[in-house]
Structure 1
């Protein structure tokens, strides 16, 4: 079981690194298309939040005794569902998906996929991931603290994103 948990955590971390690479590639493409970047001064908060999140999961898992609990399977199922929704968001936005705020001139916001039903679906997904991932590793303190830290960062991020969408280049 322990080896499987380390494998799951490694896959999640590699997935996130892959997403950062994809975001960098998409950012380059968008800037070449004339996009304007907003809110870069707070971007480090996302990087810091997610780096500390994974360190917290690892520390809590390592420093506490792990005993298998039946909550693992529902949490794993919910995590898989959230990953499907995450992929749906990324594929809906295509080259416009990013971890930064970039707006192409004169382009209307995407209003399909999950974006048709929820204004900021990726942020909602991440909120729940920050609860569910730690539960897989019995990192319950992490599961309580990091979703709320995420909400605190969003109090800066979402107004900046909304401003960028309103003022489009």
Structure 2
């Protein structure tokens, strides 16, 4: 029964990702209509593949390796996974139409320094790291948690964050909102 409930959780996360793509697509249209410039297109397909593979790997590991649901771990990690969603949507709400899964900078737009951006430059990536650990461990998929964390760190630290920092540093208006 716990595997079925975990599958439902993963499906809900998958639907949430589809909703994010819809929001991102709408926001990209908004940004491009205002002269937005996209950066880092080469790494984006790798991010999509990693995040899609992550959800699939969570389920496959639980089924193939017969991972147990350990209540104290599972419920704690479920709470952290829910918290990560709350933080993710705080980021999305704070950035409004500037939020995107791609790196798109609209010339003249101000940098945001409110909401979670008061505390961190890249709070959404903290969310991704938290979710990458918590979601697999809801059902003890520790190999997926480790593999995703390592691969995600390589992608974020080696490509995504440097691209985003360069794109934002090159934006015309460095004022804050």
What TM-score comes out, normalization by structure 2 length?
Answer: 0.91
**How many angstroms apart in 1 are the aligned matches of 2:170 and 2:81?**
35
1:131 equivalent to 2:133? Answer yes
Instruction: Determine the C-alpha separation between the residues in 2 that align with 1:4 and 1:58.
Output: 11
Partner residue, 1:31: 32
Aligned partner of residue 169 in structure 2, secondary structure:
helix
Matching residue of 1:60: 61
Q: How far did residue 3 of structure 1 move?
A: 2.6
1:103–1:168 CA contact under 8 A, matched in 2: yes
- Number of equivalent positions: 169
Structure 2 residue aligned with 1:165, among 160, 165, 168?
Answer: 168
Q: Which residue in 2 is equivalent to 1:85?
A: 87
Q: Deviations over 1:80-115 (max 9, x none)?
A: 111111110000001111000011111221110001
Q: Work out the CA distance in 2 between the residues paired with 1:58 and 1:91.
A: 30
Q: Is the contact made by 1:128 and 1:147 (CA closer than 8 Å) also made in structure 2?
A: no
Residue pairs, 1:95-134, within 5 angstroms = 95-134=97-136
1:49 offset after TM fit, Å? 0.8
**Cα shift readout 1:44-86 (whole Å, capped 9, x = no counterpart):** 1111111221221121011022433121111111111111111
Q: Which residue of 2 aligns with 1:44?
A: 45
CA distance in 2, matches of 1:122, 1:141: 23
Cα distance in 1 between the residues matched to 2:163 and 2:67: 41
Unaligned 5+ residue runs, structure 1? none
Q: CA RMSD in A?
A: 1.2
The answer as to whether partners of 1:114 and 1:121 remain within 8 angstroms in 2 is: yes
Specify the alignment match of 2:5 in structure 1: 4
Q: TM-score, normalised by structure 1?
A: 0.95
Task: Quote the Cα distance in structure 1 between the aligned partners of 2:144 and 2:43.
Answer: 22
Secondary structure class of the residue paired with 1:7: helix
Please tell me whether the aligned partners of residues 43 and 160 of structure 2 are also in contact (alpha carbons under 8 angstroms).
yes
